[in-house]
Structure 1
Amino acid sequence: MVSLVAQSPSGLPAQNPKPTKPLLRRSTLSGTIRKREDAGLDSDILSAPCSPVKRPRVTFNPDVEEKVMEEYSPKLRSLESVRGEVKRAIDAHGRGDSEGYDIIKDIFAPRKEDDEREDQGDIRQYLLALSSNAALLNRGCSGLVGAMLACEWMGRDEGFVKAYVQFLGSLASAQGLYVGSVLGMLVGNFSGVRMSSGRLRGYPTVNREQLTSRIHVALKYLLRLIPSASSTLSPIISSKFPSSDDPKKVHVVYIENLTRLTEYAPELKSDIFALITDRLVKIDVQMQVDLDDLDDGVGAAIVQALTLQPTREVDLDGEDSDSDADSVTSDESLDNDSKRIREVQGNVEKMDAILDLLFTIYDPYFSDPHSLEAASMFETLLGHFTHIILPTYHSRHAQFLLFHFAQKAEHLVDQFAGTCVQLAFQSGRPAILRQSSSSYLASFVARGAHVPAHVVRTVFELIGSHLDHIRAENEPTCRGPDLQRYSTFYAMTQALLYIFCFRWRDLLASDEVLDENDDSFPAGDLNWTPGIKDTLSRTIYSKLNPLKICSPPIVSEFAKIARHLRFMYVYSLLETNKRIRLSQFASGRSNGALRDTGNGGNSESWHQLDGYFPFDPYQLPVSRRWVDPDYVQWKGIPGLDGKEDDDESGDEDEDEDVEVEEDTATDEDGDE
């Protein structure tokens, strides 16, 4: 039998051997318990006492659950242990020893497709530990913070996502220098998340909508935790907005996410809608420039092709594919002209999709046009019109948001028309903005199907009264027609001519009965609203001679209609004007007038107004569904349509984009 008596190093028995045996027993037992508890074992199975002298008989309890013991694994490390490791690694990094720091960075690094390593089982523990030590993540730890912001977090389990969002909050609260980076990372996903982000190895698949929702959950949490973050977020949203060259899908998804953001950050709503309008106008102008650069037939063919095959839905379900037409331009098999056409077609589709989305976004606000919500949103739209749309020359479609929603109720019609009147008549404003305001006013009144007749008459009278004032003030010193000197007068006169061409029926006296089906129409002189004819006569036959300056196609159409309706005969004046050279009266003082684009300063057209009217026929095939019910198409006059007038002026501009007759032809065909 083995002796348990302790001996001294010399081999002699020790003086006091009695405590040795029980001490050894207690030490062995407690050491076994500690090791098993650290390994995650249940201490209940150690309830039987151990004795080296007598071994108890082995029995099996059928109620005890059998477990397979695993080796020690880092997955089972306590949170306190990981916190200590993280703190030590950060402190060492500050002293120049980055070994542990780099190991932690690598834990959060995205795994490459060919990386066979399993996902780090304790990554959540490290995430929680870093949240606890967020105050230590100063500027010197930007590399680690960058790795964490770039990590694959959206596609993991709910517990990890929650912990990650809380980490973002802790980081932004403790270290303000990272607020912009955190917000930028989240907004960077507004252009669309990749489906691969929701297909991480070892985790259930997360669909695109869930991924997007997690981004907004994080943003909402941060904005509530740090209210001042809104001021930081606004410029980030602007800087992350897709460029004009990005495809349709990217723009649509980004705008949808911005709209979703306004639901929980209403303080950003005004900035967000203004940003969308600003970028929309830029795309609109570029699209129009591209169309103008193409041959007229090619541009018309593009619009016609899109009209025949409109695509309302934007594909968001494919695996990061892009079905837009602009993506086809990379095909090397296409020649340069074909690529250019595909590119323009893609831009038209993009503009169409964005506007259709914006009509959809704004429409619920006007479900009750008399509500405070509608009034507030219309004020927002008017602000966009005044500061973004109006100063942009040749905006072609963005303004139709105002055109549509202004006609939701008569008081909104009055409000928009009144804004245009105020801007057109306001002295001190640049002449080019006053001219543009006159064009918007005339075009809205002429083309708005829900603009009441009394509003047409009121606007006509207001413009006429203002023209009388300008004429009386300038006629005594006038030498002859001069666009630079009297640009506002000519712009307002052209507005009256345009309104007359489209809405002459509303300028008749209220007791006038029309029968346009009568073959002899008009059978006699029509009864006009008092003052209408006198106002136009004084204006047209003044020394300022507006019919020489106004756009020739509009003057020609007015002359034909006015003679046919026995309203006014101006062909004698037009013949006289053929002998007048505008260059002899030009003051040489440029004030930015909207002039007809001629071939240089020696061309007569250089001294004439451009026939730009912003609500000319709407060309975008999908979004036009919002506009068509509000739009006045050209209605021919019995006995005049299709007849060539031998007396009309031959000094006409052939530009079909501004010619009233060209518009009437396309209106009747319903293609524009």
Structure 2
Amino acid sequence: MRGSVCMCCTVFLRDSNKELECPSLAGRASDRLDPKHNKYEELVRKIRDHGQEIRDEDLSQLLKEARGCISMLNGNFRLFVQVVLILDWTHRSPEVVSEYQGFLLDLCAAHNYYTKHVIDQLITSFKRDSSEWKDGVPSEESVRRFQHIHDAIRQILTIVPMSKDILISQVQSLFPYFKRPAHEHETFIYNILQIIQYLPGERYGFLKMIITQLITLDVHSPRSALEEREPGGNMEVDGIFEMDDVKNPTAHSLDASLNILYRYLRDEASIAGSVNMDKMKPLFNDLVKVFEEVILPTHATQHIQFLVFFILGLKPPLCQVFIRNLWKKVTDPNIPPIIRQAAVCYIASIIARAKYISILTTQTQLTEMATWIHKYISSQDEGSVNMPAVDTRIHGVFYATCQALFYIIAFRYKELVHNTGLSMLQSLNLSKIVTCRLNPLKVCAPVVVSNFAAIARSFQLAYCYTVIERNQRSNLPIVNFDNSASSFNLASVHLDSFFPFDPYLLNRTKKFIEPHYREYTGPKEENVAISKPANDDDDDFLEGHPIAESAAAHFSYSTSPGFLHLHLQ
């Protein structure tokens, strides 16, 4: 060991009220081999085992003396440094807090190899919070303690250039495991969003990190489990929704985390309670970029996509930008078909469900969809007649776009008819679409086909039931010849689709979505009797022609359009 460190520190422990004298943290090498003189190891052990019992004045004195010989705290004294770093200091007196922050700053400045350990402990401290938060709002004590941590991080970022990269890397690696308690998730996310306040240039990266982690929570919170919650099982206590933590702990964590994120988006886009476009636009761009890179390619998420739904509700004119960008993906043949199909599902779902989507935007998008569909039909009619007409692998984007067209009409037909009469819907030439050789009515989700068919018949836009009945009579597997494998394979008849803005099921954060959310009010024909279960609060989309009963028996689909599946009688 090179040199010695003279730290004459006196530490008094409450439990024994006995004075521990440490004339030297490190003596001669021979002294360190003798247990009688091993005062350094004794000090380390005392701090490790009884650190929280050290009085504030003693801890402050220890830190002052450590800072006095900071240059000597090299790797030989790493155990001492480690036990000091794990101390819970944020609840201490202002003097201790100031000395501790100064110790961290001096340590990183003198020995930059300690920077990673320091940042690790600071980030880990974000998870140490036992106080109760009311509706996602931290207590004053929590805010004060977290502020001490952020002050230390800001100072380190100022004096250690490489510390920013270390911080970003360690935040990602220390993100709570998805099965950890909900409060740990919300405190951690709250503090990541606080870091953005002094690292605004890293907002996109941190939002991407948070949303990527929340997707894990989302996919582990299946809709079926949330829909099966017993009525009355979620109680509101002091403004906090207590979900069934036993059955749905992951969903509870997701709900608590999203609550923090919704509040952040709202506050970040506003000045004095009003949405400010100068603040909103860059935030919107960051969120949409994360959506396109992380959410859009992920199959069957249930709630995380509502972040985009929410932020568009803050400034509806941005909807046109969002929809236009998605439509460019749908019509770009260089983009993988699965992404194109997902994009058109998002277009259909947000136009159908968002109250803030204007009827003019709806009309424009329907026209673009119909134009693209007719061009596709024409190109197929001119192509090879030997190619199977119905094949979701080859024509998946076409079928997804047809379903999107039918879905939007089923939701918005009343406004469309009221605004332009039947002229706009008639201009879509729906009859040609439903009778073309590609036969979209056979591939689209039966629940969508059922409702669209009823509307089309009511307004004489197209006659779908003849096609539906013919499809049922010929509902046989389609055989395609796979040249690469020199064998026959069965192709799926049904379109694998999903409806991203199905009804929102998380109780605590539902309040952010409900003001902008459209429930379904579909056609009710005199000859249709619908039998509903006792719990009729769910959105109902399976209203239409009785032919849907037998159609539903033959088709299956990955997720519903967000409505309770009912039996037609």
TM-score for the superposition, normalised by structure 1: 0.69
State the alpha-carbon separation in 2 of the partners of residues 155 and 366 from structure 1.
33
| Cα distance in 2 between the residues matched to 1:266 and 1:585 | 55
How many residue pairs are counted as aligned between the two chains? 516
User: Secondary structure of 1:634's partner?
Assistant: coil
* Equivalent residue in structure 2 for 1:550, among 433, 444, 451: 444
Task: Say if 2:121 is the partner of 1:185.
Answer: yes
SS of 1:188's equivalent in the other structure is helix
Distance 1:538 1:91, change over 3 A: farther
Alpha-carbon displacement from aligned partner over 1:120-148 (angstroms, at most 9, x marks no partner): 96543442232233232223322121112
SS of aligned partner of 1:305: coil
Deviation at 1:561, TM superposition (A): 1.9
Once the two structures are TM-superposed, the CA of residue 448 in structure 1 deviates from its matched residue by: 1.1
Would you say 1:479 and 2:373 are equivalent positions? Answer: no
Structure-1 separation of matches of 2:477 and 2:563 = 29
Question: Which residue identity lines up with residue 170 of structure 1 in the other structure?
Answer: D
Query: Paired residue for 2:309?
Result: 403
Contact 2:497 2:557 in 1 (8 A): no
Q: Which residue of 1 aligns with 2:551?
A: 651
CA RMSD of aligned residues (A): 3.4
**1:152-551 equivalence runs, <5 A:** 152-193=88-129, 207-288=141-222, 291-292=223-224, 299-302=226-229, 304-306=231-233, 309=236, 312-313=239-240, 325-326=244-245, 342-344=246-248, 346-367=249-270, 368-369=274-275, 371-475=277-381, 476-477=383-384, 478-508=387-417, 510-512=419-421, 526-529=422-425, 531-532=427-428, 534=429, 536-551=430-445
Name the CA shift for 1:582/1:437 in 2 (closer, same or farther; >3 Å). Answer: farther
More strand by share: 2
Shift of 1:265: 2.7
* TM-score (structure 2 length as normaliser): 0.81
> For the residues of structure 2 that align with 1:109 and 1:305, how far apart are their CA atoms?
47
Shift in Å at residue 176 of structure 1?
1.4
Cα distance in 2 for residues equivalent to 1:311 and 1:398: 26
1:62 corresponds to: none
Aligned to 2:515: 629
Contact 2:85 2:121 in 1 (8 A): yes
CA shift at 1:101, angstroms? 2.8
Unmatched runs of 5 consecutive residues or more in structure 1: 1-72, 77-83, 196-205, 315-322, 327-341, 513-525, 591-600, 667-672
Alignment partner of 1:607 is 2:511: no
Segments of structure 2 that go 5 or more residues without pairing to the other structure are 1-8, 13-21, 132-139, 531-544
Q: Secondary structure at the match of 2:550?
A: coil
Provide the rounded CA distance (Å) in 1 between the counterparts of 2:260 and 2:57: 43
Q: Which residue of 1 aligns with 2:74?
A: 138
Q: How many Å apart are 1:381 and its aligned residue? A: 1.2
Distance 2:479 2:129 in 1: 62
**1:357–1:125 Cα change, 3 Å:** closer
Deviations 1:324-374 (A, max 9, x none): 754xxxxxxxxxxxxxxx232x33332222222221111123335452210
Match of 1:262, SS state, is helix
Question: 1:95 Cα deviation (Å)?
Answer: 8.7
Closer, same or farther in 2 for the Cα pair 1:498/1:529, shift >3 Å? closer
The question of whether the paired residues in 2 share the 8 Å contact of 1:107 and 1:123 is answered with: no
Cα displacement string for residues 69-116 of structure 1 (whole angstroms, at most 9, x for unaligned residues): xxxx9589xxxxxxx965x72775999788243244245334189x8x
Given candidates 559, 570, 577, the residue that maps to 2:471 is 577
**Residue from 82, 102, 105 that aligns with 2:41:** 102
Counterpart selection for 1:89 from 16, 23, 26:
26
Distance 1:142 1:75, change over 3 A: closer
Equivalent residue for 1:47?
Answer: none
Over 3 Å counting, the alpha-carbon distance change for 1:128 and 1:343 in structure 2 is same
- Asked if 2 retains the 8 angstrom alpha-carbon contact of 1:390 and 1:437, the reply is yes
Percent of aligned positions that are identical: 23
Q: CA deviation at 1:611?
A: 4.3
Structure 1 residues 263 and 112: CA distance shift in structure 2, 3 A = closer
Name the aligned partner's letter for residue 356 of structure 1: N
Q: Distance in 2 between matches of 1:491 and 1:428?
A: 17
For the Cα contact (< 8 Å) 1:369–1:409, is it kept in 2? yes
The alpha-carbon distance between structure 1 residues 275 and 640, as it changes in their structure 2 partners (threshold 3 A), is: farther
What SS does the aligned partner of 2:60 have? Answer: helix
Query: Which of the pair has more CA radius of gyration?
Result: 1
SS of structure 2 residue aligned to 1:626: helix
